[in-house]
Amino acid sequence: MVFKNPFKKVSPEEMKTKLSISEQRLTAREKELKKKQEKARSEAKEALANGNDREFRVASRRYSLVEGQVNTIGSMVEMAQSMSDVIEMQTGLKEVVEIGEDLGQWQKQLGFDTNKLEGAVTNIRTSMEKVNTASTMMTSTMDAAMGGNAELSEMQDSLRSELLAELSSSETKKDDLSKKIDSELAETE
């Protein structure tokens, strides 16, 4: 059985196009998840207002999980944008490398040491490979980081505090309005 390599060499322009498409898809998914996150937040707030702790835990867990995905996708969008920048730099560097090779030949003809220039070109190529490797490692690290239970509990506690503060401020406003209405009714009687 012969396996095909799914990552065949592509031109820089093809890679930029693929990255742009991926970035758009990720951005669309990020927007979709933010809507789900807001819905889970509202459900958690409502459950907390009604004193339903179980529903709060369910909704806040959903909120936390979606937030982790939103953060990961945001990082991936940034990574895609950085990779596009790297491709543009690589395209520019290709021309610089060609000029460097010409300079090396001319230096050789003049008796200069071309080893230093060739070493610099090799360093440029090596750094480009390191950027690609780092991008792959970042993706793996983000995926591994998605499963932290301690972060989940902290996020739930933070959400609970935030929602309780919102609820108490809205109750204060309702109480002030009720007092004002009662005093106006009393004055008219």
pLDDT at 6: 59
| Residue 171 pLDDT exceeds 80 | no
pLDDT of residue 189: 62
> pLDDT band at residue 31, thresholds of 50, 70 and 90?
very high
How far apart CA 42 and CA 18 sit, in angstroms, is 36
Nearest partner of 41 among 79, 67, 73, judged by Cα: 67
Instruction: Say yes or no to pLDDT of 173 above 90.
Output: no
Mean pLDDT of the 44-58 span:
92
Q: What is the pLDDT of residues 63-113, one digit of tens each?
A: 999 998 999 999 898 888 888 888 888 777 777 778 878 877 777 777 766
Q: Give yes or no for residue 176 having a pLDDT over 80.
A: no
pLDDT class for 4, splitting at 50, 70, 90?
Answer: low
- CA distance readout (Å), 65 to 42, 62, 101, 106, 153: 15, 5, 52, 60, 11
In percent, how much of the chain has pLDDT > 70?
75
User: In Å, what is the CA distance from 14 to each residue of 28, 31, 121, 154?
Assistant: 21, 26, 24, 43
pTM of the predicted model as reported, rounded to 2 decimal places: 0.52
- Residue 95 to residue 65: CA distance in whole angstroms: 46
> If you average pLDDT over every residue of the chain, what do you get?
79
Give per-residue pLDDT as tens, 139-162. Answer: 666 655 555 556 667 878 888 888
